[in-house]
Amino acid sequence: MDDFLLRALFAGLGVALIAGPLGSFVVWRRMAYFGDTLAHAALLGVALGFLLEFSANLGVIIVCVALALILVALQQQRRLASDTLLGILSHTTLSLGLIAIASMETLRIDLMSYLFGDILTVTTIDLYWIWGCGAVALAVLITIWRPLLAITVHEELAQVEGVPVARTRLMLMLLMALVIAVAMKVVGILLITSLLIIPAATARTFARSPEQMAILAAMVGCIAVSSGLGASLKWDLPAGPAIVVSAAILFFVSHLWWNRRAKATGAV
């Protein structure tokens, strides 16, 4: 196998391993749109990285974290519904990112590769980023797992029981920012949330507990990455979209199977 393929595979697997468990929370807490908003802001981070001449990854992390903090602050005001706020920020930051990149005349970057991912050009340094950030994110997620689950089920009940609600929620936001930043290389900013949501939604059909769902989601993500890359190689498809379509196929097959079984056993 060629080196670039191996690097692509490891990059995809690294992202899938953290996107599954984190994506489970995105699904449970209905944060899909939040993820999209962070992802759209990532382009601004890329521009910032180039402008200030440091790594694009770092730029993306900075912008995503800043946006997450702004969102937390704005949501506490409760004057506008969350999805309205997200809609405003999402498209504003995406447009700002596009303008920033277009206005940097000296910069020749392939916009498509940021929008839809460029997993086949992953470098060894990218791999360090992905696995380093992924490992940190996974460790943090495991640490805050119990309080996070408690506030997901009932925030006030958890607060009365002594769970540090604000801190836990903030940690989740920061984790999302981190994971989105490193996942960008694999599927691009327009497709990132699919890696969070589709494996988790697929895993739901088989899971009996939250932990099972998280682990299964990571596995489904790995299968989607491997088969998507395979398909991309065999039929010369764009890799990022191929991975997303593989995940979607797994999702539909699992739900068909689930419906059949439900009918067979008479359960709903």
Q: Which residues bind other proteins (CB under 8 A)?
A: 27-28, 30, 146-147, 149-150, 152-154, 156-163, 201, 204, 207-210, 212-213
Q: How far is the CB of 259 from other proteins (least distance, A)?
A: 14
Is 22 or 41 the residue whose CB approaches other proteins more closely?
22
Torsion over CA: 185, 187, 193, 199 (sign): negative
Is 10 or 258 the residue whose CB approaches other proteins more closely?
258
* Residue 199 token pair: 């494996």
Q: d(Cα 38, Cα 18) in Å, to the nearest integer? A: 17
Q: Residue 80: CB partners within 8 Å, gap ≥ 6?
A: 74
Is 74 or 207 the residue whose CB approaches other proteins more closely?
207
Q: d(Cα 245, Cα 247) in Å, to the nearest integer? A: 5
Q: Residue 182: CB partners within 8 Å, gap ≥ 6?
A: 14, 15, 57, 129, 130, 133, 134
Q: H-type helices in 29-154, by residue range?
A: 32-51, 56-75, 82-103, 111-116, 124-143, 145-153
Q: How far is the CB of 130 from other proteins (least distance, A)?
A: 27
Is 155 or 238 the residue whose CB approaches other proteins more closely?
155
Q: Residue 256: CB partners within 8 Å, gap ≥ 6?
A: none
Is 131 or 251 the residue whose CB approaches other proteins more closely?
251
Is 10 or 28 the residue whose CB approaches other proteins more closely?
28
Q: How far is the CB of 166 from other proteins (least distance, A)?
A: 12
Q: Residue 61: CB partners within 8 Å, gap ≥ 6?
A: 45, 133, 177, 178, 181
Q: How far is the CB of 62 from other proteins (least distance, A)?
A: 32
Q: How far is the CB of 263 from other proteins (least distance, A)?
A: 18
Q: d(Cα 249, Cα 245) in Å, to the nearest integer? A: 6
Q: How far is the CB of 33 from other proteins (least distance, A)?
A: 16
